[in-house]
Amino acid sequence: MKKQFIGKINLIEKVSIDAYKMEIFSELEEAYPGQFISILCPTQTLRRPFSIAGFDKEKQLTTIIFKLKGDGTNYLKDLKIGDEINFLAPLGNTFEIENKNCLLVGAGIGIAPMLFLKKELDKKNIKNYLVSGFKSDDEVISGSDENVVGGSVLDNLEQIIKDKKIEIVYSCGPQIVLKKISEICLSCDIESQIAMEKVMACSIGVCRGCVIRLAKENEVVYASVCKDGPVFKGSEIVWE
């Protein structure tokens, strides 16, 4: 159940030229791949959402990986070990884990939820391949470097799907990349589960500021990314 937590920073570490990994110690009891947390940055009125990149129930640690954008993320990068952090969690739905041949595609900072998903699939012995792509070498996030493709994650996607006999693709990244990935999956006749990102105000389904359109049974319905998502079937998303 979603709750507000006051956690403590357990680790903050630079993982690329403009991204940081943060571990938060808290009383959060459960979290699943696809879900996110929403952090209060005292310099900002609105909380800032971040995908959960890892969760260790025993050590009570929640990991996020964030890229510097504006005031909120710059505030976070200056926090020190032991500092308190106020966040809502766990928010949103989860990737549906299926015992199929899985391909995980993380474009840029979209790698964050993929790292968590990969860990869960490995735990369940579900066959999976991770592909990540970054704009430049210095943006590559350490921890995902084993699987980095040179150039765009889209370049050889169709070939990888065919060669590895992929049955389902999970992905997160910029909308333009996600749209292309869902189109490729449709043309290959396989399922895709896409974690969407929208600028969020409330993060809890109240303001309707994060709606997207879904095509369901011949009608178009509105869904909020923060509450109904962030994970949607690629085949149902009506792309802008």
Ligand X SMILES: Cc1cc2nc3c(=O)[nH]c(=O)nc-3n(C[C@H](O)[C@H](O)[C@H](O)COP(=O)(O)OP(=O)(O)OC[C@H]3O[C@@H](n4cnc5c(N)ncnc54)[C@H](O)[C@@H]3O)c2cc1C
Closest distance between ligand FES and the C-beta of residue 230, in Å? 10
In 3D, which of 161, 152, 215 has the Cα closest to residue 185? 161
At its nearest, how many Å lie between ligand FES and the CB of residue 38?
A: 9
Q: Distance from CA of residue 177 to its chain's centroid?
A: 14
Site for ligand FES in 191-210 (CB under 6 A): 200-203, 205-210
> Which one of residues 30, 71, 83, 155 is an interface residue with ligand X (CB under 6 A)?
71
Where in 81-120 is the site for ligand X (CB under 6 A)?
A: 109, 112
Q: Which residue is nearest to ligand X (CB)?
A: 70
Q: Return d(Cα 195, Cα 127) in angstroms, integer.
A: 20
Instruction: Determine if 240 is a binding residue for ligand X (CB under 6 A).
Output: no
Distances (CA, A) of 221 to 35, 71, 228, 236, 238: 22, 34, 12, 10, 10
How far apart are alpha carbons 73 and 69 in whole angstroms? 6
Task: Give the Cα separation of 94 and 66 in Å (integer).
Answer: 19
Residue 195 CA to residue 204 CA, distance in Å, equals: 16
Using rule CB under 6 A, residue 67 touches ligand X: yes
51 contact choice in ligand X, ligand FES, none (CB below 5 to 8 Å, kind-dependent): ligand X
Q: To the nearest whole angstrom, how small is the minimum distance from the Cβ of residue 78 to ligand X? A: 12
- 152-191 residues in contact with ligand X (CB under 6 A) are none
CA distance 219 to 13: 46
221 binds ligand FES (CB under 6 A): no
Give the residues lining the site for ligand FES (CB under 6 A). 200-203, 205-210, 224, 226
Give the residues lining the site for ligand X (CB under 6 A). 36, 44, 48-51, 64-67, 69-73, 109, 112, 197-200, 230
